[in-house]
Chain A
Amino acid sequence: MPIKRIAILMVVAGGMGLGGILTLLLVLFIGRAWWTTPFEVAGFGGAPEQPIDFPHTVHAGTDVLVDLDDNPKLDDNGDEVHGLGLNCTFCHRNVDKGATASIPPVEQCVFCHKTVGTDLPEVMKLIAAWDNKEPVAWERVHRLPDSVRFVHEPHIRFFTKTGNLLPSGQQATIAANVCSTCHGDVAAMAEVKQVRSLKMGDCVDCHRDYSAPTDCTTCHY
């Protein structure tokens, strides 16, 4: 029966077509998932634009500050101006307490900025947010996929324990010594960007090096 045969052919072809489309969709999805989480694989992309141009160099760094043309900034006496060298945990207070390192509340910025740098345009944005009681919506730089639970606290606890040396070979004595292991030298970044891939392989490598658990449920729970 040719009609029956044609019908079977059509169903098979249609089924294959549908299957092909579904497979393609699946591949696209997985591809997208792979290339976009965490945001930047292999370091391309860059620092996202933030609502307020917050320089970690000024706050956390200790190097001589430079202007846009790389000339050192000088104070009224003609001396070079250095970064403040604030401890990371001064602002990211929860890093040794909970899952997230936490972004400081606006009020904490205003502790200093109600008197410091009030004439700078970026600081004025901050003061405006404080006056209007508006939160500041920062762009995320580091973000792990929803399937991963990363908790800062145990990592800080591990590396600040005497005898547990950082990958750099140094002994961390305070929480702030640990941050750069994954986040890079943020103190030297005018704009923060991601420096490690932070994909699963990256996590597992480090966990293996330190004999940390590598069960799936360590992170996926």
Chain B
Amino acid sequence: MGAVVFNGCLIADEELQVESPVDLPEDLVTGIDNWYATLCRQDQEGCGIIVRVVEGRAKKVEGNPDYPINQGKHNVRSEAGVQALYHPDRITEPLFRDSTSGTFSPISWEDARKKVTDRLAGLEDKSKFLLVTQPLRGHLALLSSEFVQSYGGKHMAFEALERVTLRHAIKDVFGQDQVPDFDIENSRYLLSFGADFLSTWLSPVKYAGAYGEFRQGNRKRGVHVQVDSRFSMTAASADEWVPVKPGGEGILAMSIIYVIIMDGLGDSGVANLLTGGKGFQALDAFRPDSAEVRDATGVQADRIIEMAHAFADPNNQPSLAIGGGSAGAQTSGLFNLRAIYSLNLLVNNVNKAGGLFFNPPPPLEDLAKPEVLDMGVPASFQDWKDVGQLGVLMVRGVNPVHGLPAGANFGGVMDRADFVVAFSSFMDETAEKANLILPEHIYLEDWGDDVPDPGPRYETLGLQQPVVRPFHAGTRGFGDELLLLGKDQGLHDRLGLEGIDNPTYEDLLKNGAEKLWMEDRGSVRAATFDGFWNGMLQRGGWWDTEARSQAAAADAVALDTNWPDVRIEGPTGDNTYNLIPFLSNSLADGSLAHLPWLQAAPDPVTSVVWHTWVEINSKTADEKGIREGDMIEITSPSGTVVAPAYVHPAVPPWTVSMPIGQGHTAFGQYAEGVGVNTLSILAPLTDGDTRALAWAATRVSLRNTGKRIDVPRFEGNVPAFETEKGKIIKLALPK
């Protein structure tokens, strides 16, 4: 009826017209979709995606079924890529800040480039040029590395919850520069320490796919034990969750090693090497029944012995131990992860199905150079604290002002720098402090490639192509701009592009692809280079399943058998707790806080949306008179934030947890003023060996402010229905 009546309303004039488009794209059929393969750059996993494009507009992101990492699956972060493309707060033209009034005004690209090159060329001390980006891989790493070298500057990669300690541990235990491919799928017993691998850790889409096979595949079901100081999404999925005291993860792992060696399980040769030939007695400090171990880990001796026996049980092989997240974010982080990964050596699972596979270096020689691989390694917290007075600071696509704890004072570094250039699509806290903002294409509009890290255990080069034309006329590609900015410094020659007039980043990618084409191997082969290039574009990249790492497992290195230096900073006594910050499942470290779909995606454990909450144990909350929604003041030595309480029984009583990524003061209309910045109250402690931020080593006190809000959450707002007879939620008593 309504449809009929409202036909009587006036019809807009435009609706009575039908436009001839100007151009004739050969693949554009009105109402028919095209799917283009490209890469997701929303997080570091780098999934292959296919994007549905209808009449030149990107509409929907799906996983690329061909791509080795995610094999057709994708996550909520990839899904929201289209919102970044059409975001109303995108910066659409270069902006220059007037030094007196402090306000930004538009400037042409030519003038902007000239300002940058003048500043760079005018630097007396070339080392005062610093380029800050996210960890870079593939040809963008090569290009940025050569660009920085051509100007004699430095580069630092930024990651809020950096994985510096993990990389060191992998290097120490396995002698590998690349993170190995963990074969969760074929494992029979998976022991994970703090690694939230189903949500945010390393390659969650890949692991989630593997986890399905692990649990429901066509063979004996694998068992997963999660040792975690927080009840994460991964802990919630595990067969058993072992709440460990923060900082005790390494001690627990050492205790497991002690039991394995003492009971004669596992490889005796490796046991010998790990203990420096002294046998289990060398690990005596970590006896599971000692009071120190129980106090440090909060885990009973029989549980430890049970885990050790299960891990080394021949019937449970192949077994696999992984660790990361909060387990590595302690002052004893490297100690923890070395002990955890050494467990793998004891069960001899390196380069075996169900264990872990080493990853080969990147496929092209240029991309495997040490200085190029370095571009993908994040700087440690200490490195950030050591940044001094800068002449030119160039920041690309990251937000260290928001993402670094107050102890690093990155805002101060920016204020003191003579000239700050920000390549940014949005006005975030970092761009706000820049002198010049150069708006970038969103990755769906730009070229690129990626060597996934961790890779799929064989050589892979993913290809990113623009699936749509740039939505705004005033944005440019970062790669293209670097080539222009470095032109006079001989950057083109350094990259082998001297034969091309005004080369673009696409030319650089094609140069690399041509070398791959000539090797005539892998997933794409063709008689001509054009055929090869089209094949790569169609499939979303190139990979060679035969090209695997040649490295054999290195000999085990003796473990550090001294009791680790576990320090936690903050108040002690009643009503104080270890703060466990965690990466948001949808917003990651906050770099995606500007996308409303992700703000509205419920957290997998609490179902809270659009907020920062503090998870408090229900019994503790009862004792302290805290109810859900009470605004709690959380105070650490570095600062205070106020967040609503979320009370649930699976929070270890000695901890409170808070997601990171919110509390933006700038970053568009959907991020500003939402939640609080958990990172801002972290104590500036670092791991003793790697100087990486010990982000799970802060202790806080709580105070109920007396104010109260309704926590915005999904849970409880929609009635649950019984689809079959029985309880909606099955309860099981803890062991």
Contact = CB atoms under 8 A, between A and B. Distances in A.
Interface stretch (B16-24, B70-78, B636-644, B707-715): B16-24
Given A134-B22, A139-B17, A30 B5 contact: yes
A28 to B, nearest CB: 7
Contacts of A147: 3-4, 7
Nearest to A135: B19
A138 B3 contact: no
Contacts of A145: 3, 7
A91 B32 CA distance: 17
A105 B32 contact: no
B16 to A, nearest CB: 5
A35 to B, nearest CB: 9
Given A30-B8, A94-B29, A98-B31, A130 B22 contact: yes
A220 B5 CA distance: 14
A105 B22 CA distance: 5
A140 B9 CA distance: 18
B44 to A, nearest CB: 39
B528 interface: no
A105 to B, nearest CB: 4
Contacts of A135: 19-22
B616 to A, nearest CB: 50
Nearest to A143: B16
B30 interface: yes
A111 to B, nearest CB: 9
Contacts of B20: 103-106, 109, 135-136, 138
Nearest to A27: B8
A218 to B, nearest CB: 15
A30 B4 contact: yes
Contacts of A206: none
B8 A32 contact: yes
Given A98-B29, A105-B22, A107-B24, A140 B16 contact: yes
Interface string A98-120: 11101111111100000000000
B19 A103 contact: yes
Nearest to B7: A33
Contacts of A97: 29, 32
Nearest to A51: B17
Contacts of B9: 29
Interface in A29-58: 29-33, 36-37
A100 B30 contact: yes
A109 B29 CA distance: 17
Contacts of A183: none
A181 B230 CA distance: 69
Contacts of B19: 103, 135-138
A10 interface: no
Nearest to B4: A33
A23 B370 CA distance: 80
Contact of A140 (B6, B17, B22): B17
A126 to B, nearest CB: 9
B7 A146 contact: yes
Contacts of A108: 24
A29 B30 contact: no
B7 A98 contact: no
A146 B3 contact: yes
A130 B24 CA distance: 12
A212 B21 CA distance: 34
B16 A105 contact: no
A133 interface: yes
A189 B15 CA distance: 24
Given A107-B24, A134-B22, A220-B3, A139 B31 contact: no
A26 interface: yes
A29 B22 CA distance: 38
Nearest to A148: B3
Given A37-B7, A147-B7, A138 B29 contact: no
A119 B16 CA distance: 30
Interface string B13-50: 00111111111100001111000000000000000000
A207 interface: no
B358 to A, nearest CB: 49
Contacts of A37: 7
Given A29-B8, A105-B22, A138 B17 contact: yes
Q: Which of B8, B19, B24, B30 has the most CB of A within 10 A?
A: B8
A36 B18 CA distance: 18
A108 B22 CA distance: 9
Contact of A137 (B17, B30, B31): B17
Nearest to A136: B20
Interface in A67-100: 93-94, 97-100
A220 B24 CA distance: 32
Contacts of B5: 26, 29-30, 33
A91 B30 CA distance: 13
Q: Which of A93, A105, A147 has the most CB of B within 10 A?
A: A105
A175 to B, nearest CB: 14
B22 A93 contact: no
Contacts of A109: 20
A26 B18 CA distance: 30
A30 B24 CA distance: 41
B60 to A, nearest CB: 18
B23 A140 contact: no
Interface string B319-354: 000000000000000000000000000000000000
A182 B29 CA distance: 22
A30 B20 CA distance: 33
A94 B16 contact: no
Nearest to B23: A107
A105 B4 contact: no
Contacts of A31: 8
A98 B30 contact: yes
Nearest to A100: B30
Contacts of B32: 94, 97-98
Contacts of A32: 7-8
A139 B16 CA distance: 6
B18 to A, nearest CB: 5
A140 B18 contact: yes
Contacts of A138: 17-20
A94 B31 contact: yes
B3 to A, nearest CB: 4
Given A135-B21, A138-B18, A94 B30 contact: yes
B25 to A, nearest CB: 8
Contacts of A146: 3, 6-7
B29 A93 contact: yes
Contacts of B3: 145-147, 220
Interface string B602-639: 00000000000000000000000000000000000000
Contacts of A106: 20-23
Interface in A135-182: 135-140, 143, 145-147
Q: Which of B5, B7, B11, B16 has the most CB of A within 10 A?
A: B7
Given A97-B32, A100-B30, A105 B24 contact: yes
Q: Which of A98, A137, A220 has the most CB of B within 10 A?
A: A137
Contacts of B17: 137-140
B13 to A, nearest CB: 10
A200 to B, nearest CB: 10
A67 B15 CA distance: 33
A129 to B, nearest CB: 8
| Leading 3 A-B pairs by shortest Cβ distance | A29-B8, A147-B3, A33-B7
13 contacts: A30-B8, A36-B8, A37-B7, A94-B30, A99-B31, A103-B19, A109-B20, A135-B19, A136-B19, A143-B16, A146-B3, A147-B4, A147-B7
Given A29-B5, A29-B6, 19 more contacts: A33-B5, A36-B8, A94-B30, A97-B32, A99-B31, A100-B30, A100-B31, A102-B30, A104-B20, A104-B24, A105-B23, A105-B24, A107-B22, A133-B22, A135-B22, A137-B19, A139-B16, A139-B18, A146-B3
Interface of A: 26, 28-33, 36-37, 93-94, 97-100, 102-109, 129-130, 133-140, 143, 145-147, 220
